[in-house]
């Protein structure tokens, strides 16, 4: 799959793309409470556009380990004013909504978002599959073992790569059965996986090319990086960039990031290295 159709916006993956994270939450692990006011969110979006973002991913409910569970109505109330103003000021920007609730996804797609990014791959809310079928919005399906509140409580696998791959195959079959053509695969780094699991999965990223779908890598400033190195999320940008470069060589098509400028630099370096390989 070389491209997806996001409500008339054709996104080609001949070159890697940057998905910029906008958490409009008070409690996200890295940038909670920074962008949950409209003015602050708009300034951050403007900055990301200047730095070269391709897709904006807006999340109104934190999915960090132990995060509180919101109702759809609570999530929509956070999302609505910010999504509205972003569409007003940046009408050409491609927007993804980061939610596992079908009502939130349906609201977002009908109010200017073009992509659904579901960390549960419709495991938490089975009606999400109905929304994807009806809207035909490109869908990011991600593997998560358990739920955000409990996912890091001693996760275990016989073979993490095999289990995640089989999960993705099953989910793609379900999407195809609903005539959904545009989907993206996210192995789910940090979601129900130990540090070792994350790196085993990371080093087998090329396996997911078998799915013939764009591969999204979401490792930006995650604990798999900063806990391993004994640093904080704030200090983990250079290590994040190092893994981003490696992931591109292993087949990543989308980098989901907090830091757009540095991701763009990483992609530019990757393109130069490939050009002279």
CATH number at residue 146: 3.20.20.20
The predicted structure's pLDDT at residue 71: 93
Q: What pLDDT, in 10s, does the model give residues 174-228? A: 999 999 999 999 999 999 999 999 999 999 999 999 999 999 999 999 999 999 9
Please indicate, yes or no, if residue 4 is contained in any of the structural domains: no
The predicted structure's pLDDT at residue 148: 64
Please indicate, yes or no, if residue 5 is contained in any of the structural domains: no
Q: What pLDDT, in 10s, does the model give residues 15-27? A: 999 999 999 987 5
The predicted structure's pLDDT at residue 155: 72
Q: What percent of the chain has a predicted confidence (pLDDT) above 90?
A: 84
Say what angle helices 237-249 and 260-275 make with each other, to 10 degrees: 40
Rounded CA-CA distance 176/133 in Å is 10
The predicted structure's pLDDT at residue 273: 98
The predicted structure's pLDDT at residue 69: 80
The predicted structure's pLDDT at residue 28: 53
Q: What pLDDT, in 10s, does the model give residues 238-268? A: 999 999 999 999 999 999 999 999 999 999 9
Q: What is the mean pLDDT of the chain?
A: 93
The owner of tokens 């949950």 is 36
Rounded CA-CA distance 178/173 in Å is 9
Please indicate, yes or no, if residue 8 is contained in any of the structural domains: no
Q: For 123-141, what is the mean pLDDT?
A: 97
* Helical residues (DSSP H) of the chain, grouped into ranges: 38-51, 72-89, 102-109, 128-135, 160-177, 195-202, 223-229, 237-249, 260-275
Is the pLDDT assigned to residue 37 strictly greater than 90? no
The predicted structure's pLDDT at residue 244: 98
Range name among 8-22, 52-66, 118-132, 166-180 with the lowest pLDDT average: 52-66
| Nearest by Cα to 83 from 62, 72, 97 | 97
Please indicate, yes or no, if residue 163 is contained in any of the structural domains: yes
Is the pLDDT assigned to residue 29 strictly greater than 80? no
Is the pLDDT assigned to residue 87 strictly greater than 50? yes
Say what angle helices 72-89 and 102-109 make with each other, to 10 degrees: 20
Compute the C-alpha angle 37/43/49, nearest 5°. 130
Please indicate, yes or no, if residue 3 is contained in any of the structural domains: no
Please indicate, yes or no, if residue 220 is contained in any of the structural domains: yes
Q: What residues make up the domain containing 78?
A: 16-275
Q: For 71-95, what is the mean pLDDT?
A: 96
Is the pLDDT assigned to residue 58 strictly greater than 60? yes
Please indicate, yes or no, if residue 251 is contained in any of the structural domains: yes
Rounded CA-CA distance 184/111 in Å is 22
Q: For 221-238, what is the mean pLDDT?
A: 97
Q: Give residue 32's pLDDT band: very low, low, confident or very high (50, 70, 90).
A: very low
Is the pLDDT assigned to residue 34 strictly greater than 80? no
DSSP state, residue 182: -
| Nearest by Cα to 220 from 59, 67, 62, 31 | 31
Rounded CA-CA distance 98/23 in Å is 9
The owner of tokens 């890598």 is 217
Q: Give residue 276's pLDDT band: very low, low, confident or very high (50, 70, 90).
A: very high
Please indicate, yes or no, if residue 7 is contained in any of the structural domains: no
> Catalytic residues, which ones?
222, 256
Domains: count for the chain: 1
């Amino acid at each position: 799959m070389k491209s997806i159709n996001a409500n008339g916006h054709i996104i080609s993956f001949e070159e890697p793309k940057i998905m910029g994270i906008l958490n409009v939450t008070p409690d996200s692990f890295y940038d909670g409470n920074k962008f949950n006011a409209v003015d602050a969110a708009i300034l951050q979006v403007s900055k990301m556009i200047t730095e070269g973002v391709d897709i904006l991913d807006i999340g109104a409910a934190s999915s960090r380990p132990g995060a509180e569970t919101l109702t759809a109505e609570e999530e929509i109330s956070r999302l609505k004013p910010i999504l509205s103003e972003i569409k007003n000021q940046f009408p050409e920007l491609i927007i993804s909504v980061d939610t596992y609730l079908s009502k939130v996804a349906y609201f977002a797609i009908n109010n200017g978002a073009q992509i659904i990014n579901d960390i549960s791959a419709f495991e938490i809310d089975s009606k999400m599959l109905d929304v994807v079928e009806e809207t035909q919005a490109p869908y990011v399906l991600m593997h998560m073992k358990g739920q955000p509140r409990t996912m890091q409580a001693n996760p275990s696998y016989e073979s993490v790569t095999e289990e995640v791959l089989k999960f993705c195959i099953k989910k793609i079959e379900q999407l195809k059965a609903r005539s959904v053509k545009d989907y993206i695969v996210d192995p789910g780094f940090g979601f129900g996986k130990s540090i070792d699991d994350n790196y085993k999965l990371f080093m087998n990223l090329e396996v997911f090319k078998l799915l013939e779908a764009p591969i999204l890598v979401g490792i930006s400033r995650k604990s798999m990086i900063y806990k391993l190195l004994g640093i904080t999320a704030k200090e983990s940008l250079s290590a994040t960039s190092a893994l981003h470069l490696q992931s591109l060589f292993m087949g990543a098509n989308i980098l989901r990031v907090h830091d757009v400028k540095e991701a763009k630099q990483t992609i530019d370096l990757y393109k130069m290295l490939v050009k002279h390989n």
